[in-house]
Amino acid sequence: MEKTGPTTAQLVDYLVVVVYFVFVLGVGFKLKKNMHTAEDFLLAGHNCGQEGKSSISIPTWVTGLAFLSANLGAIEVMGMAANAAQYGVMTAHFYWLGAIPAMVFLAVFMMPFYYKSKIRSVPEYLRKRFNEPTRAFNAFSFAIMTVLMSGMNLYAMAIVFQMVLGWPIHASIWLAAVVVLAYTITGGLTSSIYNEVMQFFLIVFGLLPLSIMGALRFGSWEAITDALKAPGMSHLWMEVASGSNPMGTDMLGLVMGLGFVLSFGYWCTDFLVIQRAMAAKDLHGAQLTPIVAAFPKILFPVLTVFPGLLAIIAMPQLGSNNAGLSYNNAIPYLMAAIYPNGMFGLGMTALLASFMSGMAGNVTAFNTVWTYDIYQTYLAKNKSDAHYLWVGRAATAIGIVISVGTAYLVMGFPSIMDYMQTVFSFFNAPLFATFLLGMFFKRTSPWGAFWGLVAGTGAAVIHYVLCEQGKLVYSTAMAGNFHRSVAAWTVCFVVTLMISYLTKPKDVSELKGLVWGVGIEDGDDLKKPPFLLRPGVLGCILLLVTVVLNLIFY
């Protein structure tokens, strides 16, 4: 039977979704019996595993894929495809200019500090390296960021189901919230990691045929580039120098804003992703986690950017003022246009999996930061482990309820990708300057870090307000986000340095294992892995492949 119109959901499609739900919930309940302590639940046994108390030992390939999947939320799948439909191949800069170099940097240079300092969260590193106020500032801002992001995933899921399956938006939000609650409250971080790995494969199997069938429909890359309206849509760098590219950005915004600040800020300091690497069984596993994730990540534009390009060719009216034709709908529209029933259900399940994995990642990071960095530190010290386990579970439930609220908040924004990068430019961009100075410059003082972080975040807020008032104008919202992140990072960097030279730094004896060159080698009792498995060697291979891809799609 020849396909004549968009596919609509049939029984087999619903059946695929139901089978997936059964497995997701089953994994959570199966892992429940392994959750003995708060650290089992919140950290997947990382810290207590070192003392031999935990029954949890997660292989590196699992933490690697979870590291990747925690980022595979709405922004990755729907957002990148939407960006590709709007800005073209330049969207691949998020991978080949931003993510891959940042993941290599994290693995080689930063992970040893995170892992060896035996911290339970990123804010806890800030307390050890700097002081309590710096930790508090980061803990509260991170908690706010995670629930904002989590709500965005809920909202993205709801609009897909409303559009494709006809489900009411409110019911979709609550249903998704209940499912994520069920498997994160039972199995904690381990359950979230296990489901993220399952979701990774589902996302690949659900989206790959879309690219394959799209490619078969056009025949060649030349045919696709011919069909795109502007030459800049099929090139990464060709129109960057002139500034007249589809993304409307210049070299400074692209290289410094996206390639350095936003990407390194996200991949190297966001506890959501760091938490997955820290669940690895040893330091070598933790270092390899971002590397294992980077190899598939390098190919992800095939699953996200390429369908976005196909969508804008198939539906040139995308992006018009009609709300139903938003760029965000590029992937669901393409699925309905290309997939038959069965595959359509699998594609929908892949989208559902990506949103749930993005949401669960945020919720599990939120419950850890809330329990250890806010509740245990400021509200109830010296309680029993069982008490903190209970609080961790309660924080999971409360985090999800707040996410439902923020899902309704996101409804007011025109594009999820712009919303996301706005959030990152507020929180991650200044934080990266703090970490860079904290980890690699021992003169950085505690109060320098605190005031630098406050000033950097303040600069982002002021920049945003000036943009909203029309006093700062950029040709696209994305270009504004890139420049805002550069401003926030620079202000944080400069203020931190200035105040550090005016205030007293920590004694070197207190910085052991926390700053580059201060006693990090002392605790290194691991034997060196084989040459080809060293993070530095694998990192060089990744960077080489990235350079080649940049040249091919110049």
Partner 1 sequence: MLDVRYPIGFLFLILGALLAIYGYGHPATFNTVNGPFPLNIDVPWGIFMFLFGMGTVSLAKLDEVKNAEQEPVPQIESGSEAADAMKPEAGSGPQATEPTEEES
- Catalog residues that contact partner 1 under the rule CB under 8 A: 1-3, 12, 15-16, 19-20, 23, 26-27, 30-36, 55-57, 62, 194, 197-198, 201-202, 205, 209, 213, 216-219, 223, 338-343, 346
CB of 402 vs partner 1, minimal distance in Å: 29
Task: Note whether 481 and 257 are within 8 A (CB).
Answer: yes
Residue 194 or 424 with smaller CB distance to partner 1: 194
Using the Cα atoms of residue 34, residue 38, residue 39 and residue 42 in order, give the sign of their dihedral.
positive
Residue 19 or 401 with smaller CB distance to partner 1: 19
459: which 2 tokens?
A: 């600069």
Residue in the block written with tokens 């507020």: 426
Instruction: Quote the CA–CA distance of 361 and 266 in Å, as a whole number.
Output: 14
Residue 19 or 461 with smaller CB distance to partner 1: 19
Instruction: Quote the CA–CA distance of 167 and 353 in Å, as a whole number.
Output: 17
Residue 282 or 490 with smaller CB distance to partner 1: 282
Helix, strand, coil percentages in the chain from 3-state DSSP, rounded to 5: 75, 0, 25
Instruction: Quote the CA–CA distance of 22 and 33 in Å, as a whole number.
Output: 18
CB proximity list for 61: less than 8 A, separation 6 or greater: 292
Residue 4 or 322 with smaller CB distance to partner 1: 4
CB of 123 vs partner 1, minimal distance in Å: 29
Residue 52 or 219 with smaller CB distance to partner 1: 219
Task: Note whether 190 and 34 are within 8 A (CB).
Answer: yes
Of the candidates 140, 157, 222, 159, the one whose C-alpha atom is nearest the C-alpha of residue 21 is 157
Instruction: Quote the CA–CA distance of 422 and 476 in Å, as a whole number.
Output: 13
Measured torsion, CA atoms of residues 350, 352, 358, 363, in degrees rounded to the nearest 10: -140
Residue 29 or 378 with smaller CB distance to partner 1: 29
Residue 132 or 385 with smaller CB distance to partner 1: 385
441: which 2 tokens?
A: 């410059």
CB of 220 vs partner 1, minimal distance in Å: 8
Residue 165 or 227 with smaller CB distance to partner 1: 227
CB of 58 vs partner 1, minimal distance in Å: 9
Residue 37 or 425 with smaller CB distance to partner 1: 37
Residue 216 or 526 with smaller CB distance to partner 1: 216
Of the candidates 548, 449, 428, the one whose C-alpha atom is nearest the C-alpha of residue 505 is 449
Of the candidates 423, 380, 399, 482, the one whose C-alpha atom is nearest the C-alpha of residue 141 is 423
CB of 418 vs partner 1, minimal distance in Å: 33
CB of 228 vs partner 1, minimal distance in Å: 17
324: which 2 tokens?
A: 């139903």
CB of 187 vs partner 1, minimal distance in Å: 9
CB of 62 vs partner 1, minimal distance in Å: 6
CB of 554 vs partner 1, minimal distance in Å: 26
Strand, coil or helix: what is 361? helix
Eight-class DSSP state of 366: H
CA 486 to chain centre: 19
CB of 2 vs partner 1, minimal distance in Å: 5
Residue 224 or 395 with smaller CB distance to partner 1: 224
CB of 15 vs partner 1, minimal distance in Å: 6
Q: What is the DSSP string of 314-360?
A: H-TTTTSS-GGG-GGGHHHHHHHHHPPTTHHHHHHHHHHHHHHHHHH
Phi/psi of residue 58, nearest 5 degrees: -100, 125
Instruction: Quote the CA–CA distance of 60 and 296 in Å, as a whole number.
Output: 14
Residue 66 or 262 with smaller CB distance to partner 1: 66
Of the candidates 119, 138, 124, the one whose C-alpha atom is nearest the C-alpha of residue 450 is 138
Q: CA end-to-end span of the chain, whole Å?
A: 41
CA 54 to chain centre: 28
Task: Note whether 191 and 56 are within 8 A (CB).
Answer: no
Task: Note whether 108 and 539 are within 8 A (CB).
Answer: yes
CB of 434 vs partner 1, minimal distance in Å: 35
CB of 94 vs partner 1, minimal distance in Å: 27
CA 76 to chain centre: 8
CB of 216 vs partner 1, minimal distance in Å: 5
Residue 21 or 174 with smaller CB distance to partner 1: 21
